A and B are shown apart, each in its own frame.
Chain A
Amino acid sequence: MSILAIEAALLLVIVCVSLWRMLSGDVDIPPHRVISLLYPFLPLDSEASLDAIVVRSVRLPRLLSALGAGASLGVAGVVLQGLLLNPMAEPYTLGIASGAAFGGALVISSSVMAVVPAAFIGALAAMAAVYAIAERAGGGRVHIILAGVIVSAFLSAGVTFLKAVADERIGAIVLWLMGGFSGSSPLSAFAVWLAAAFSFFVSWLYGRHLDAVSLGEEAGASLGVDERNLRILLLSAVSMSSAVAVSFFGIIGFVGLVVPHVMRMLTGSTHRPLLCCSFLGGAALMAAADGAAQLCGELPVGVITAMIGAPFFCWLLARRRMSNF
Protein backbone atom coordinates (compact mmCIF):
# COMPACT_ATOMS: atom_id res chain seq x y z
CA MET A 1 0.00 0.00 0.00
CA SER A 2 1.37 3.38 -0.87
CA ILE A 3 1.92 6.00 1.81
CA LEU A 4 -0.76 8.21 0.27
CA ALA A 5 -3.31 5.40 0.43
CA ILE A 6 -2.47 4.79 4.08
CA GLU A 7 -2.80 8.47 4.86
CA ALA A 8 -6.12 8.66 3.02
CA ALA A 9 -7.40 5.62 4.93
CA LEU A 10 -6.37 7.18 8.24
CA LEU A 11 -8.07 10.44 7.31
CA LEU A 12 -11.22 8.52 6.50
CA VAL A 13 -11.07 6.85 9.91
CA ILE A 14 -10.69 10.27 11.52
CA VAL A 15 -13.71 11.58 9.60
CA CYS A 16 -15.82 8.59 10.65
CA VAL A 17 -14.75 8.84 14.30
CA SER A 18 -15.39 12.59 14.25
CA LEU A 19 -18.88 12.11 12.84
CA TRP A 20 -19.63 9.53 15.49
CA ARG A 21 -18.30 11.76 18.25
CA MET A 22 -20.12 14.86 17.05
CA LEU A 23 -23.46 13.13 16.48
CA SER A 24 -23.68 11.00 19.60
CA GLY A 25 -24.13 12.06 23.20
CA ASP A 26 -26.59 12.37 26.04
CA VAL A 27 -28.46 15.17 24.32
CA ASP A 28 -30.20 14.00 21.19
CA ILE A 29 -29.49 16.45 18.38
CA PRO A 30 -30.34 15.55 14.77
CA PRO A 31 -27.34 15.34 12.39
CA HIS A 32 -28.41 18.22 10.15
CA ARG A 33 -28.77 20.45 13.20
CA VAL A 34 -25.27 19.48 14.43
CA ILE A 35 -23.82 20.33 11.05
CA SER A 36 -25.65 23.64 10.85
CA LEU A 37 -24.46 24.51 14.36
CA LEU A 38 -20.84 23.99 13.31
CA TYR A 39 -21.07 27.03 11.03
CA PRO A 40 -18.59 29.49 12.58
CA PHE A 41 -20.70 32.64 12.27
CA LEU A 42 -23.97 31.72 13.93
CA PRO A 43 -26.46 34.46 14.78
CA LEU A 44 -26.29 35.33 18.48
CA ASP A 45 -29.71 33.93 19.44
CA SER A 46 -28.99 30.43 18.13
CA GLU A 47 -25.50 30.49 19.68
CA ALA A 48 -27.11 30.58 23.11
CA SER A 49 -29.39 27.57 22.57
CA LEU A 50 -28.77 24.34 24.48
CA ASP A 51 -28.01 22.46 21.27
CA ALA A 52 -25.43 25.03 20.25
CA ILE A 53 -23.72 24.91 23.63
CA VAL A 54 -23.61 21.12 23.54
CA VAL A 55 -22.18 21.01 20.03
CA ARG A 56 -19.88 24.02 20.12
CA SER A 57 -18.67 24.09 23.70
CA VAL A 58 -18.77 20.45 24.70
CA ARG A 59 -18.56 18.01 21.82
CA LEU A 60 -16.33 19.94 19.46
CA PRO A 61 -13.65 20.94 22.02
CA ARG A 62 -13.67 17.41 23.37
CA LEU A 63 -13.23 15.88 19.93
CA LEU A 64 -10.53 18.35 18.95
CA SER A 65 -8.71 17.87 22.26
CA ALA A 66 -8.67 14.10 21.85
CA LEU A 67 -7.50 14.34 18.24
CA GLY A 68 -4.77 16.85 19.12
CA ALA A 69 -3.53 14.95 22.17
CA GLY A 70 -3.39 11.67 20.22
CA ALA A 71 -1.55 13.31 17.34
CA SER A 72 0.90 14.89 19.75
CA LEU A 73 1.66 11.64 21.55
CA GLY A 74 1.96 9.70 18.28
CA VAL A 75 4.52 12.16 16.94
CA ALA A 76 6.39 12.23 20.25
CA GLY A 77 6.66 8.42 20.22
CA VAL A 78 8.11 8.37 16.70
CA VAL A 79 10.66 11.06 17.52
CA LEU A 80 11.77 9.49 20.79
CA GLN A 81 12.02 5.97 19.38
CA GLY A 82 14.02 7.21 16.41
CA LEU A 83 16.22 9.59 18.33
CA LEU A 84 17.03 7.18 21.15
CA LEU A 85 17.05 4.07 18.93
CA ASN A 86 14.91 2.35 21.48
CA PRO A 87 11.59 0.66 20.78
CA MET A 88 10.50 1.26 24.38
CA ALA A 89 10.89 5.02 24.28
CA GLU A 90 7.74 7.09 24.56
CA PRO A 91 6.85 10.34 26.34
CA TYR A 92 6.06 8.50 29.55
CA THR A 93 9.21 6.41 29.85
CA LEU A 94 11.22 9.64 29.93
CA GLY A 95 9.68 11.10 33.07
CA ILE A 96 7.35 13.56 31.34
CA ALA A 97 4.21 11.95 32.72
CA SER A 98 5.49 11.47 36.24
CA GLY A 99 6.79 15.04 36.24
CA ALA A 100 3.35 16.31 35.28
CA ALA A 101 1.68 14.01 37.79
CA PHE A 102 3.94 15.23 40.56
CA GLY A 103 3.49 18.90 39.67
CA GLY A 104 -0.29 18.52 39.47
CA ALA A 105 -0.56 16.45 42.64
CA LEU A 106 1.62 18.95 44.51
CA VAL A 107 -0.62 21.91 43.80
CA ILE A 108 -3.83 19.96 44.37
CA SER A 109 -2.58 18.80 47.76
CA SER A 110 -1.65 22.36 48.67
CA SER A 111 -5.03 23.53 47.39
CA VAL A 112 -3.63 25.96 44.86
CA MET A 113 -5.77 25.56 41.77
CA ALA A 114 -3.27 26.24 38.99
CA VAL A 115 -3.12 22.53 38.17
CA VAL A 116 -2.44 22.77 34.45
CA PRO A 117 0.51 25.20 34.67
CA ALA A 118 1.95 23.24 37.60
CA ALA A 119 1.70 19.96 35.70
CA PHE A 120 3.27 21.58 32.64
CA ILE A 121 6.18 22.96 34.66
CA GLY A 122 6.54 19.61 36.42
CA ALA A 123 6.75 17.77 33.11
CA LEU A 124 9.34 20.11 31.63
CA ALA A 125 11.36 20.17 34.86
CA ALA A 126 11.41 16.35 34.90
CA MET A 127 12.58 16.27 31.29
CA ALA A 128 15.28 18.85 32.03
CA ALA A 129 16.42 16.78 35.02
CA VAL A 130 16.54 13.66 32.84
CA TYR A 131 18.63 15.46 30.26
CA ALA A 132 20.99 16.96 32.84
CA ILE A 133 21.56 13.59 34.53
CA ALA A 134 22.09 11.90 31.16
CA GLU A 135 24.61 14.56 30.14
CA ARG A 136 26.59 14.08 33.34
CA ALA A 137 26.54 10.32 32.81
CA GLY A 138 28.03 10.56 29.32
CA GLY A 139 25.22 11.89 27.17
CA GLY A 140 24.47 8.66 25.29
CA ARG A 141 21.07 7.40 24.23
CA VAL A 142 21.02 4.71 26.89
CA HIS A 143 21.84 7.31 29.52
CA ILE A 144 18.73 9.29 28.59
CA ILE A 145 16.52 6.21 28.90
CA LEU A 146 18.07 5.20 32.22
CA ALA A 147 17.86 8.72 33.61
CA GLY A 148 14.20 8.79 32.50
CA VAL A 149 13.45 5.57 34.32
CA ILE A 150 15.16 6.81 37.47
CA VAL A 151 13.48 10.24 37.47
CA SER A 152 10.12 8.57 36.80
CA ALA A 153 10.57 6.21 39.71
CA PHE A 154 11.53 9.07 42.02
CA LEU A 155 8.59 11.25 41.01
CA SER A 156 6.11 8.37 41.15
CA ALA A 157 7.23 7.80 44.72
CA GLY A 158 6.68 11.51 45.27
CA VAL A 159 3.12 11.25 43.95
CA THR A 160 2.43 8.28 46.21
CA PHE A 161 3.82 10.26 49.14
CA LEU A 162 1.57 13.22 48.31
CA LYS A 163 -1.44 10.92 48.12
CA ALA A 164 -0.51 9.40 51.48
CA VAL A 165 -0.39 12.77 53.23
CA ALA A 166 -3.21 14.43 51.27
CA ASP A 167 -6.07 13.49 53.62
CA GLU A 168 -9.35 14.55 52.11
CA ARG A 169 -7.75 15.89 48.93
CA ILE A 170 -6.67 12.40 47.88
CA GLY A 171 -9.89 12.09 45.90
CA ALA A 172 -9.10 15.15 43.85
CA ILE A 173 -5.57 13.93 43.15
CA VAL A 174 -6.72 10.47 42.07
CA LEU A 175 -9.43 11.92 39.87
CA TRP A 176 -7.00 14.27 38.17
CA LEU A 177 -4.37 11.54 37.68
CA MET A 178 -6.91 9.32 35.93
CA GLY A 179 -7.14 11.85 33.16
CA GLY A 180 -9.62 12.15 30.34
CA PHE A 181 -11.20 14.57 27.95
CA SER A 182 -14.47 15.26 29.76
CA GLY A 183 -13.15 18.59 31.01
CA SER A 184 -12.01 19.79 27.57
CA SER A 185 -12.48 23.44 26.76
CA PRO A 186 -11.85 25.51 23.64
CA LEU A 187 -8.66 26.66 25.34
CA SER A 188 -7.41 23.12 25.93
CA ALA A 189 -8.26 22.17 22.35
CA PHE A 190 -6.43 25.19 21.01
CA ALA A 191 -3.36 24.65 23.22
CA VAL A 192 -3.01 20.98 22.43
CA TRP A 193 -3.39 21.57 18.68
CA LEU A 194 -0.86 24.37 18.73
CA ALA A 195 1.60 22.09 20.54
CA ALA A 196 0.87 19.14 18.24
CA ALA A 197 1.27 21.25 15.11
CA PHE A 198 4.52 22.75 16.36
CA SER A 199 6.12 19.45 17.33
CA PHE A 200 4.96 17.82 14.11
CA PHE A 201 6.32 20.66 12.00
CA VAL A 202 9.75 20.67 13.67
CA SER A 203 10.01 16.87 13.59
CA TRP A 204 8.95 16.69 9.96
CA LEU A 205 11.48 19.35 9.03
CA TYR A 206 14.25 17.31 10.62
CA GLY A 207 12.77 13.99 9.49
CA ARG A 208 15.68 13.10 7.21
CA HIS A 209 18.16 13.98 9.93
CA LEU A 210 16.24 11.64 12.19
CA ASP A 211 16.63 8.96 9.51
CA ALA A 212 20.37 9.56 9.53
CA VAL A 213 20.89 9.35 13.30
CA SER A 214 18.76 6.21 13.44
CA LEU A 215 21.59 4.51 11.54
CA GLY A 216 23.89 4.99 14.49
CA GLU A 217 25.97 7.81 15.86
CA GLU A 218 28.89 7.45 13.46
CA ALA A 219 26.80 7.15 10.33
CA GLY A 220 24.67 10.12 11.32
CA ALA A 221 27.69 12.29 12.04
CA SER A 222 29.39 11.27 8.84
CA LEU A 223 26.26 12.46 6.99
CA GLY A 224 26.81 15.88 8.50
CA VAL A 225 24.09 15.64 11.16
CA ASP A 226 24.97 17.03 14.57
CA GLU A 227 23.20 14.52 16.76
CA ARG A 228 23.58 16.54 19.95
CA ASN A 229 21.91 19.62 18.55
CA LEU A 230 19.22 17.54 16.87
CA ARG A 231 18.53 15.77 20.15
CA ILE A 232 18.22 19.01 22.12
CA LEU A 233 15.88 20.51 19.54
CA LEU A 234 13.61 17.52 19.05
CA LEU A 235 13.54 16.45 22.70
CA SER A 236 12.50 19.98 23.64
CA ALA A 237 9.79 20.08 20.99
CA VAL A 238 8.20 16.74 21.82
CA SER A 239 8.61 17.19 25.58
CA MET A 240 6.78 20.47 25.33
CA SER A 241 3.94 19.04 23.25
CA SER A 242 3.57 15.94 25.43
CA ALA A 243 3.69 18.14 28.52
CA VAL A 244 0.78 20.19 27.18
CA ALA A 245 -1.26 17.04 26.49
CA VAL A 246 -0.46 15.49 29.88
CA SER A 247 -1.10 18.62 31.90
CA PHE A 248 -4.54 19.19 30.38
CA PHE A 249 -5.74 15.62 30.05
CA GLY A 250 -3.75 13.56 32.53
CA ILE A 251 -1.79 10.38 32.10
CA ILE A 252 -2.89 8.58 28.94
CA GLY A 253 -0.32 5.92 28.26
CA PHE A 254 0.17 3.56 25.38
CA VAL A 255 -0.73 5.81 22.44
CA GLY A 256 2.83 7.17 22.15
CA LEU A 257 4.24 3.66 22.31
CA VAL A 258 1.88 1.65 20.13
CA VAL A 259 0.92 4.05 17.37
CA PRO A 260 4.50 4.48 16.05
CA HIS A 261 5.04 0.71 16.04
CA VAL A 262 1.81 -0.04 14.22
CA MET A 263 2.46 2.71 11.68
CA ARG A 264 6.03 1.50 11.16
CA MET A 265 4.63 -1.88 10.15
CA LEU A 266 2.55 -0.15 7.51
CA THR A 267 4.91 2.53 6.23
CA GLY A 268 8.45 1.42 7.07
CA SER A 269 10.81 3.46 9.18
CA THR A 270 11.50 6.48 6.97
CA HIS A 271 10.57 9.28 9.31
CA ARG A 272 8.68 11.81 7.22
CA PRO A 273 5.90 9.43 6.13
CA LEU A 274 6.01 7.73 9.53
CA LEU A 275 5.48 11.07 11.28
CA CYS A 276 2.50 11.94 9.06
CA CYS A 277 0.86 8.56 9.60
CA SER A 278 1.51 8.54 13.34
CA PHE A 279 0.04 12.02 13.65
CA LEU A 280 -3.14 10.81 11.94
CA GLY A 281 -3.15 7.40 13.60
CA GLY A 282 -2.63 8.84 17.08
CA ALA A 283 -5.44 11.32 16.53
CA ALA A 284 -7.85 8.63 15.30
CA LEU A 285 -6.99 6.20 18.10
CA MET A 286 -7.33 8.79 20.85
CA ALA A 287 -10.65 10.15 19.60
CA ALA A 288 -12.05 6.64 19.27
CA ALA A 289 -10.77 5.65 22.71
CA ASP A 290 -12.33 8.76 24.19
CA GLY A 291 -15.63 7.80 22.57
CA ALA A 292 -15.39 4.33 24.04
CA ALA A 293 -14.49 5.79 27.45
CA GLN A 294 -17.56 7.99 27.35
CA LEU A 295 -19.77 5.06 26.33
CA CYS A 296 -18.51 3.10 29.33
CA GLY A 297 -19.67 5.81 31.72
CA GLU A 298 -16.67 8.18 31.57
CA LEU A 299 -13.97 5.65 32.30
CA PRO A 300 -10.47 7.15 32.30
CA VAL A 301 -9.44 7.10 28.65
CA GLY A 302 -6.02 5.65 29.58
CA VAL A 303 -7.82 2.50 30.73
CA ILE A 304 -9.38 2.12 27.30
CA THR A 305 -6.17 2.80 25.36
CA ALA A 306 -4.28 0.24 27.43
CA MET A 307 -7.00 -2.42 27.63
CA ILE A 308 -7.70 -2.42 23.91
CA GLY A 309 -4.24 -1.38 22.76
CA ALA A 310 -2.17 -3.91 24.71
CA PRO A 311 -3.88 -7.09 23.48
CA PHE A 312 -4.02 -5.67 19.95
CA PHE A 313 -0.31 -4.92 20.08
CA CYS A 314 0.47 -8.41 21.40
CA TRP A 315 -1.53 -9.88 18.56
CA LEU A 316 0.40 -7.80 16.04
CA LEU A 317 3.70 -8.78 17.65
CA ALA A 318 2.85 -12.44 17.52
CA ARG A 319 1.40 -12.28 14.03
CA ARG A 320 4.34 -10.78 12.25
CA ARG A 321 7.85 -10.54 13.48
CA MET A 322 8.55 -6.89 13.90
CA SER A 323 11.85 -5.51 12.77
CA ASN A 324 13.38 -3.42 15.51
CA PHE A 325 12.58 -0.18 13.79
Chain B
Amino acid sequence: MLKDMSSGPEGLSQGRLVALIGPNGSGKTTLLRTLCGLLRYDGSVTLYGRELGTYRRRELGRIVGMLPQTSGADIAYSVHDLIGLGRIPHGGLVSGRSEDDEAAVLNAARVMGVEPLLFRQASKLSGGEMRRVLMAMLLAQDPAVFLLDEPSSASDIKHAVRMFSIMKDLSSSGKLVVSAVHDINLAARFADALVVIKEGRILDIVPGGGLDEDILSRLYDVSFELFMSSGGEKAWHAIAE
Protein backbone atom coordinates (compact mmCIF):
# COMPACT_ATOMS: atom_id res chain seq x y z
CA MET B 1 0.00 0.00 0.00
CA LEU B 2 1.54 3.26 -1.05
CA LYS B 3 0.74 5.99 1.42
CA ASP B 4 2.22 9.15 0.16
CA MET B 5 3.89 9.59 -3.14
CA SER B 6 3.36 13.32 -3.24
CA SER B 7 7.05 13.92 -3.20
CA GLY B 8 7.16 11.15 -5.75
CA PRO B 9 8.74 10.73 -9.09
CA GLU B 10 6.88 13.64 -10.55
CA GLY B 11 8.60 15.22 -13.41
CA LEU B 12 10.30 12.00 -14.48
CA SER B 13 11.42 12.99 -17.90
CA GLN B 14 12.32 11.15 -21.04
CA GLY B 15 15.85 10.01 -21.50
CA ARG B 16 16.39 9.01 -17.93
CA LEU B 17 17.09 5.79 -16.14
CA VAL B 18 15.45 5.85 -12.74
CA ALA B 19 16.01 3.05 -10.24
CA LEU B 20 13.57 2.33 -7.44
CA ILE B 21 15.40 0.89 -4.47
CA GLY B 22 14.05 -0.28 -1.15
CA PRO B 23 13.53 -3.39 0.94
CA ASN B 24 11.01 -6.12 0.08
CA GLY B 25 7.44 -4.95 0.48
CA SER B 26 8.39 -1.28 0.38
CA GLY B 27 6.09 -0.56 -2.55
CA LYS B 28 8.36 -0.65 -5.60
CA THR B 29 6.16 -3.12 -7.50
CA THR B 30 3.00 -1.30 -6.41
CA LEU B 31 4.42 1.96 -7.74
CA LEU B 32 5.34 0.33 -11.07
CA ARG B 33 1.93 -1.28 -11.40
CA THR B 34 0.26 2.03 -10.67
CA LEU B 35 2.36 3.78 -13.30
CA CYS B 36 1.38 1.03 -15.76
CA GLY B 37 -2.27 1.81 -15.11
CA LEU B 38 -2.97 -1.54 -13.46
CA LEU B 39 -4.07 -0.19 -10.10
CA ARG B 40 -6.53 2.46 -9.06
CA TYR B 41 -5.05 5.39 -7.23
CA ASP B 42 -6.04 8.51 -5.32
CA GLY B 43 -4.52 11.77 -6.34
CA SER B 44 -3.03 12.30 -9.71
CA VAL B 45 -0.60 10.56 -12.06
CA THR B 46 -0.06 12.36 -15.31
CA LEU B 47 1.54 11.04 -18.44
CA TYR B 48 2.38 13.51 -21.18
CA GLY B 49 0.23 16.04 -19.35
CA ARG B 50 -2.80 13.80 -19.31
CA GLU B 51 -4.25 11.91 -16.36
CA LEU B 52 -3.21 8.24 -16.52
CA GLY B 53 -6.72 7.00 -15.76
CA THR B 54 -8.14 8.67 -18.87
CA TYR B 55 -6.03 6.62 -21.29
CA ARG B 56 -7.62 3.64 -22.95
CA ARG B 57 -5.79 0.38 -22.35
CA ARG B 58 -4.75 0.02 -25.96
CA GLU B 59 -3.41 3.58 -26.14
CA LEU B 60 -1.47 2.94 -22.96
CA GLY B 61 0.05 -0.18 -24.51
CA ARG B 62 1.81 2.00 -27.05
CA ILE B 63 3.15 4.40 -24.43
CA VAL B 64 3.89 2.33 -21.33
CA GLY B 65 5.23 -1.22 -21.21
CA MET B 66 6.00 -3.30 -18.17
CA LEU B 67 8.23 -6.25 -17.42
CA PRO B 68 6.44 -7.91 -14.49
CA GLN B 69 8.35 -9.72 -11.78
CA THR B 70 6.57 -12.96 -12.50
CA SER B 71 4.80 -14.09 -15.58
CA GLY B 72 2.76 -17.19 -16.22
CA ALA B 73 4.87 -17.94 -19.25
CA ASP B 74 4.79 -21.70 -18.74
CA ILE B 75 3.09 -21.71 -22.08
CA ALA B 76 3.90 -23.58 -25.24
CA TYR B 77 4.49 -20.49 -27.39
CA SER B 78 7.58 -20.37 -29.52
CA VAL B 79 9.99 -17.64 -28.42
CA HIS B 80 9.39 -15.97 -31.77
CA ASP B 81 5.63 -15.84 -31.22
CA LEU B 82 6.12 -14.66 -27.65
CA ILE B 83 8.33 -11.73 -28.64
CA GLY B 84 5.85 -11.00 -31.44
CA LEU B 85 3.12 -10.40 -28.85
CA GLY B 86 4.93 -7.15 -28.09
CA ARG B 87 3.61 -5.86 -31.42
CA ILE B 88 -0.06 -6.20 -30.41
CA PRO B 89 -0.52 -2.52 -29.51
CA HIS B 90 0.82 -1.50 -32.92
CA GLY B 91 -1.21 -3.79 -35.16
CA GLY B 92 -4.81 -3.94 -36.29
CA LEU B 93 -7.12 -6.60 -34.94
CA VAL B 94 -7.20 -8.80 -38.01
CA SER B 95 -3.70 -8.41 -39.30
CA GLY B 96 -1.02 -10.84 -38.48
CA ARG B 97 2.48 -9.55 -38.14
CA SER B 98 3.66 -7.08 -40.76
CA GLU B 99 7.20 -6.83 -42.09
CA ASP B 100 7.84 -3.96 -39.67
CA ASP B 101 6.69 -6.16 -36.82
CA GLU B 102 8.93 -8.97 -37.98
CA ALA B 103 11.89 -6.60 -38.15
CA ALA B 104 11.13 -5.30 -34.66
CA VAL B 105 10.95 -8.87 -33.32
CA LEU B 106 14.29 -9.85 -34.85
CA ASN B 107 15.94 -6.65 -33.69
CA ALA B 108 14.65 -7.12 -30.14
CA ALA B 109 15.89 -10.72 -30.13
CA ARG B 110 19.31 -9.56 -31.34
CA VAL B 111 19.61 -6.83 -28.69
CA MET B 112 18.69 -9.27 -25.93
CA GLY B 113 20.93 -11.99 -27.34
CA VAL B 114 18.10 -14.50 -27.64
CA GLU B 115 18.33 -15.07 -31.40
CA PRO B 116 19.48 -18.68 -30.97
CA LEU B 117 16.36 -19.34 -28.90
CA LEU B 118 13.85 -17.95 -31.42
CA PHE B 119 12.37 -21.28 -32.42
CA ARG B 120 12.58 -22.93 -29.03
CA GLN B 121 9.47 -23.39 -26.95
CA ALA B 122 9.19 -20.67 -24.30
CA SER B 123 8.07 -23.09 -21.60
CA LYS B 124 11.38 -24.96 -21.89
CA LEU B 125 13.60 -21.94 -21.20
CA SER B 126 15.54 -21.35 -17.99
CA GLY B 127 14.44 -18.55 -15.66
CA GLY B 128 17.15 -16.18 -16.87
CA GLU B 129 16.49 -16.94 -20.55
CA MET B 130 12.78 -16.37 -20.03
CA ARG B 131 13.47 -13.02 -18.43
CA ARG B 132 15.53 -11.94 -21.44
CA VAL B 133 12.84 -13.15 -23.84
CA LEU B 134 10.20 -11.16 -21.97
CA MET B 135 12.49 -8.13 -22.09
CA ALA B 136 12.82 -8.69 -25.85
CA MET B 137 9.02 -8.72 -26.04
CA LEU B 138 9.01 -5.37 -24.30
CA LEU B 139 11.65 -4.02 -26.69
CA ALA B 140 9.48 -5.15 -29.61
CA GLN B 141 6.58 -3.30 -27.98
CA ASP B 142 8.77 -0.20 -28.05
CA PRO B 143 6.87 1.99 -25.57
CA ALA B 144 8.07 5.44 -24.54
CA VAL B 145 8.14 4.44 -20.89
CA PHE B 146 9.70 1.16 -19.76
CA LEU B 147 8.64 -0.08 -16.34
CA LEU B 148 10.85 -2.94 -15.22
CA ASP B 149 10.36 -4.99 -12.10
CA GLU B 150 13.65 -6.56 -11.09
CA PRO B 151 14.81 -7.00 -14.70
CA SER B 152 18.00 -8.79 -13.78
CA SER B 153 16.51 -11.24 -11.29
CA ALA B 154 17.32 -14.83 -12.23
CA SER B 155 20.16 -13.57 -14.43
CA ASP B 156 23.80 -14.43 -14.00
CA ILE B 157 26.25 -11.55 -13.47
CA LYS B 158 27.13 -11.24 -17.16
CA HIS B 159 23.50 -10.93 -18.19
CA ALA B 160 22.65 -8.65 -15.27
CA VAL B 161 25.33 -6.17 -16.32
CA ARG B 162 24.24 -6.52 -19.93
CA MET B 163 20.63 -5.84 -18.93
CA PHE B 164 21.67 -2.62 -17.22
CA SER B 165 23.69 -1.42 -20.17
CA ILE B 166 20.66 -2.10 -22.42
CA MET B 167 18.54 -0.06 -20.01
CA LYS B 168 21.14 2.69 -20.18
CA ASP B 169 21.07 2.57 -24.01
CA LEU B 170 17.29 2.83 -23.95
CA SER B 171 17.40 5.92 -21.77
CA SER B 172 20.11 7.45 -23.96
CA SER B 173 17.87 6.91 -26.97
CA GLY B 174 15.20 9.04 -25.32
CA LYS B 175 13.11 6.49 -23.39
CA LEU B 176 12.16 6.83 -19.78
CA VAL B 177 13.21 3.69 -17.92
CA VAL B 178 11.89 3.15 -14.40
CA SER B 179 13.17 -0.01 -12.79
CA ALA B 180 12.86 -1.65 -9.42
CA VAL B 181 16.36 -2.85 -8.56
CA HIS B 182 17.65 -5.00 -5.74
CA ASP B 183 21.33 -4.63 -6.47
CA ILE B 184 22.12 -1.18 -5.12
CA ASN B 185 25.58 -1.16 -6.67
CA LEU B 186 24.27 -1.79 -10.20
CA ALA B 187 21.59 0.82 -9.54
CA ALA B 188 24.12 3.37 -8.32
CA ARG B 189 26.42 2.69 -11.24
CA PHE B 190 23.88 2.91 -14.07
CA ALA B 191 20.93 5.01 -12.90
CA ASP B 192 20.55 8.74 -13.39
CA ALA B 193 18.43 8.95 -10.29
CA LEU B 194 17.57 6.67 -7.40
CA VAL B 195 14.15 6.80 -5.81
CA VAL B 196 14.53 5.49 -2.29
CA ILE B 197 11.31 3.84 -1.08
CA LYS B 198 10.45 2.43 2.31
CA GLU B 199 7.09 1.38 3.74
CA GLY B 200 5.15 2.95 0.89
CA ARG B 201 6.82 6.35 1.17
CA ILE B 202 9.58 7.99 -0.76
CA LEU B 203 12.42 8.68 1.64
CA ASP B 204 14.61 10.47 -0.81
CA ILE B 205 15.46 10.99 -4.44
CA VAL B 206 19.18 11.12 -5.09
CA PRO B 207 21.35 11.19 -8.19
CA GLY B 208 22.99 7.90 -9.21
CA GLY B 209 26.24 8.55 -7.42
CA GLY B 210 24.56 10.18 -4.46
CA LEU B 211 23.97 7.17 -2.21
CA ASP B 212 25.47 7.51 1.21
CA GLU B 213 25.74 5.34 4.27
CA ASP B 214 23.03 7.25 6.08
CA ILE B 215 20.39 6.68 3.38
CA LEU B 216 21.27 3.01 3.01
CA SER B 217 21.22 2.22 6.70
CA ARG B 218 17.91 4.07 7.14
CA LEU B 219 16.54 2.12 4.20
CA TYR B 220 17.64 -1.41 5.07
CA ASP B 221 18.25 -1.12 8.84
CA VAL B 222 21.76 -2.55 8.52
CA SER B 223 25.13 -0.83 8.40
CA PHE B 224 27.00 -0.38 5.14
CA GLU B 225 30.60 0.00 4.25
CA LEU B 226 31.93 1.68 1.13
CA PHE B 227 34.66 0.08 -0.98
CA MET B 228 36.39 2.04 -3.70
CA SER B 229 38.19 0.42 -6.62
CA SER B 230 41.48 1.82 -7.92
CA GLY B 231 39.47 3.11 -10.91
CA GLY B 232 37.26 5.13 -8.58
CA GLU B 233 34.18 2.89 -8.76
CA LYS B 234 32.18 2.66 -5.56
CA ALA B 235 30.64 -0.47 -4.11
CA TRP B 236 28.51 -0.73 -1.00
CA HIS B 237 28.55 -3.80 1.19
CA ALA B 238 26.19 -4.55 4.02
CA ILE B 239 27.98 -5.42 7.24
CA ALA B 240 26.69 -8.42 9.13
CA GLU B 241 25.82 -7.41 12.69
Give residues in A with beta carbon < 8 Å to B. 85, 205-206, 208-209, 211-212, 214-219, 221-226, 264, 268-270, 272, 323-325
Q: How far is the CB of B232 from chain A (nearest CB, A)?
A: 38
Given contacts A216-B70, A323-B123, contact A208 B85 (CB under 8 A): yes
Chain A binding surface SS class: loop
B111 to chain A, nearest CB (A): 19
On whether the beta carbons of B74 and A211 are closer than 8 Å, the reply is: no
Q: How many Å from the CB of A79 to the closest CB on chain B? A: 15
Query: Which residues on A sit within 8 Å (CB–CB) of B72?
Result: 85, 214-216, 219
For the complex, count residues of B whose C-beta is within 8 A of A. Answer: 40
How many contacts A-B (CB < 8 Å)? 99
Which B residue's beta carbon lies closest to that of A265? B76
Is B57 a contact of A208 with CB atoms below 8 Å? no
List B residues at the A interface (Cβ < 8 Å). 33, 36-38, 56-62, 64-66, 68, 70-78, 81-82, 85-86, 88-89, 91, 93-94, 96, 121, 123, 134, 138, 141, 147
Q: In the complex, which residues of chain B have a beta carbon less than 8 angstroms from the beta carbon of A206?
A: 93
Contact A325 B76 (CB under 8 A): yes
Closest to A270 in B: B81
A218 and B68 alpha carbons, distance in the complex (Å): 7
Chain B nearest CB: distance from A316 CB in Å?
Answer: 14
Contact assessment for A218 and B81 in the assembled complex, using a CB-CB cutoff below 8 Å:
no
Residues A223 and B75 in contact, CB atoms below 8 Å apart: no
Q: Is the CB of A268 within 8 A of B94?
A: no
- Residue on B nearest A208 in the bound complex, by CB: B88
With known contacts A218-B68, A222-B64, A224-B57, A323–B75 Cβ distance under 8 A: yes
Asked whether, in the complex, the Cβ of B88 is within 8 Å of the Cβ of A269, the reply is no
How many Å lie between the Cα of A232 and that of B138 in the bound state? 27
A sample of 19 more A-B contacts (CB under 8 A), given A85-B72, A224-B62, A270-B78, is A205-B94, A215-B72, A216-B68, A216-B71, A216-B73, A218-B38, A218-B66, A218-B68, A222-B61, A223-B65, A223-B85, A226-B57, A226-B58, A264-B76, A268-B81, A269-B75, A270-B77, A270-B81, A323-B123
Q: In whole Å, how far is B211's beta carbon from the nearest beta carbon of chain A?
A: 29
B38: which A residues are within 8 A, CB to CB?
A: 217-218, 221-222
A223's nearest neighbour on chain B, judged by CB, is: B88
Complex A-B, nearest 6 residue pairs according to Cβ-Cβ distance, in ascending order: A224-B61, A224-B89, A222-B66, A226-B57, A216-B72, A269-B76
Contact (Cβ within 8 A) B93 A224: no
